[in-house]
Amino acid sequence: MFVTSPSDDAQERITVRISIVVHSMNCQYLGVDIQDDMGRHEVGHVQDVVKTPVSDGCRFKAKFSINKVPGNFHIATHSSKEKPSHGNMKHTVEYLSFGDQLPQAVEDEVPGSFNALKERTSEERSDEMLTHDYFLKIVPSKLEFLSGKAYTPYQYTYAYRNYRGLHAPAIWFRFDLSPITVSYVEKRKPFYHFLTMFCAIIGGTFTVASIIDSMIFTTHSYFKKAEIGKLG
């Protein structure tokens, strides 16, 4: 059983993990840029970035931190010295998560959208020069389990649009943070709940037994009267 309640969150930065397949773009052109309202503007972040060729495209994996202010990060060709011959950014987001990485079993058990973009593929369009925009609303969360394990992941919801822009196409993730934290606390059911259930089961058993006993007695009396000719 989980109970939700608002609480405060004092962490200074949020870890982002992303894996995205850009289906028609060579790895050499792709990079991740990070911007926020505190003045951060990082083009071509390289730490903890892994790019793997996939057929004609690229699987782009990255892990980085963002400040707790509105901002964005985007997968683009802006940091590449050599520009590609096309701008097709059709993609599949394999996963995008914020904060602590949850074990799959925990993610499946706890309600919430901790990986809302999982396996989302962008729309098919004939216009390859499309920019893709995801607008994310991030909600801090805390999970506490009876086992003593605790996690601080972030849930998020998203809205999506695409358009033909004036600049090189990109995949944008624009984020804003909720001021409220949601806490999930696993609790044992109180002992009186067990007693109530136990009494309900016992009471139900006696009720059914009484009905059956009454039916047997009535049937027996009927046949007894029939044997001695007292029916009617």
DSSP 125-186: -S-S-EEEEEEEEEEEEEEE-TTS-EE-EEEEEEEEEEEE-SS--EEEEEEEE-S-EEEEEE
Which domain range does residue 198 map to? 190-232
pLDDT value of position 209: 61
Is the model's pLDDT at 87 over the cut of 70?
A: yes
Q: What is the mean pLDDT of residues 42-49?
A: 93
Domain co-membership, 151 together with 196:
no
What confidence tier does 97 reach under pLDDT thresholds 50, 70, 90?
very high
User: What pLDDT was estimated at residue 99?
Assistant: 92
Identity of the residue numbered 24? S
In this prediction, residue 157 carries a pLDDT of: 94
Number of domains in the chain: 2
> Strand, helix or coil at 35?
strand
219 and 127 within one domain = no
**Which pLDDT tens digit goes with each residue over 183-230?**
777 665 665 555 666 566 766 665 666 776 677 666 656 556 556 665
Does residue 108 share a domain with residue 203?
A: no
Entry pTM: 0.74
**Residue 140 sits in the same domain as residue 123:** yes
Say yes or no: 6 and 44 in one domain.
yes
Q: Is 116 found in the same domain as 215?
A: no
Tell me, yes or no, whether 232 and 166 share the same domain: no
Residues 169 and 218 in one domain: no
| Residues 138 and 62 both lie in one domain | yes
> Does 2 score more than 50 pLDDT?
no
Residues 59-73: what's their mean pLDDT?
Answer: 96
pLDDT at 60: 97
Domain match, 84 and 110 both? yes
| Residues of the chain above pLDDT 90, percent | 47
